[in-house]
Amino acid sequence: MTRKYFGTDGIRGEVGSPQMSADFVLRLGWAAGRVLAPHGGGTVLIGKDTRISGYMFESALEAGLSAAGVNVQLLGPMPTPAIAYLTHTTRAQAGVVISASHNSFQDNGIKFFSAEGRKLDDSIELRIEEEIARPFVTVNSAALGGVRRMEDAAARYIEFCKSSVAEGLSLAGMRLVLDCANGATYRIAPSVFASLGAQVTSIGAQPDGLNINKDCGSTHPQALRKKVLETGAHLGIAFDGDGDRVMMVDHHGELVDGDELLLIIALARIQQHQLHGPVVGTQMSNLGLEQALRAAGIEFHRAKVGDRYVLAMMEEQGSILGGENSGHIICLDRTTTGDGIISALQVLEALRAAGLDLAAMKTGMHKYPQVLVNVKTTERVDLEMPAIRTAVHAVERQLNGRGRVLLRPSGTEPVVRVMVEGEDAVQTHRHAESIAAAVRAAAN
């Protein structure tokens, strides 16, 4: 069966749209409670990022879960991976995240974690969708779920992040700039790195409900680059709005993306004799990452784009390390899901162990020019249409095996993503634009 509401990363949309309205989220909370805690009386955690609409959806979920007889613990603004961790360690039945990740404040979303702190299986999401369609029935008053706030949630998660690196690791003498995207990491990330001894300068740490991801964070690293150069920092770290992605900037102001960070962690794990199974990337992972890993004797597999698919392949292949070039990195030997803070800590630990700076560490990978063009669409486009396939084949002939072409519809936005990778940056850009033009023409 095809899921009606759930996409690749929960349910997401513009606030006020049919599936991102207060009444729908009320029913969603009720349905999730009936599926995830079917006998009532269990506990579900609710956390959120800093969007203004998070208050509304938090109340709606709280009411729906209570009506289903499920107890609720409110975490407040917390990174998505923190909610996964706390769900598992507090033995809750499930965790709910109110966030649209790297999207702007006009959007929001709902995603769930199982009792084990992992994304829900498709089959469970389907059961929740089926339950949404049933008549809304409130349990009797004596069976209603109670609500309370977890006061020490941030402190628990901060200690967990610090435990993901060697006990003796000190970041003393390291000057860091953190860009918290005016999102869920704005209090926690500075505390983690400062408590390990780093000198921390924070930007994007003054959320007002409307400025999440606005010209900041992992999707807009320009402000971080500028601040790193201004302050003479050793490096900069950028998170996205919900804290599950990370990008870095070296002391020259050069961006270091998820592929390069994944390679740094993988090579460190090899040195520590801690790497098990292949490294898993995606169809978007740079060809340079694949080549660098294989040169180090590390097997590399590609999953479909989306962290849920990366995680599924990691579990299938017995892997502990995987990720996306967007900075969503999963260290299964440390936690259960992608975690920007924990991934950043693994990189800093690798730098300390090697005695090198970030600029030197990233030279292990020859990065192929990769151009991504997002083509906005009003409805689903058939990517097998003759005009589109003709444009793709023409580019593939010119690349002649020295590059890649990938077309895919986004799982979170109404766009088709056109990616072309090749040896020459200018030519690669022209190739991507020629295919994008064919997609635009087909979409109109």
Active site residues: 101
Tell me the C-alpha distance between 158 and 145, whole Å.
29
| Residues ≥6 apart with Cβ < 8 Å to 444 | none
Instruction: Classify residue 137 by burial, with Cβ atoms within 10 Å: 0-12, 13-18, 19+.
Output: exposed
Eight-class DSSP state of 444: -
Which segments within 377-428 are labelled E, that is strand? 404-409, 415-421
Handedness of CA 213, 362, 285, 3 (dihedral sign): negative
Eight-class DSSP state of 143: G
Contact 70, 42 (CB under 8 A): yes
| Residues ≥6 apart with Cβ < 8 Å to 439 | 375, 377, 381, 383, 388, 407, 416, 418
Residue with token string 């409670």 = 33
Which of 344, 363, 331 is CA-nearest to residue 252? 363
Residue 405 C-beta-side C-alpha neighbours within 13 Å: 24
Tell me the C-alpha distance between 301 and 5, whole Å.
29
Q: Which two tokens mark 384?
A: 């097998």
Q: Which two tokens mark 92?
A: 């809750």
Please give the span between the terminal C-alpha atoms of the chain, in angstroms, as a whole number: 29
Which segments within 212-347 are labelled E, that is strand? 235-239, 246-250, 255-256, 279-282, 300-303, 321-323, 329-331
Is residue 284 helix, strand or coil? coil
Contact 334, 34 (CB under 8 A): no
Tell me the C-alpha distance between 95 and 63, whole Å.
15
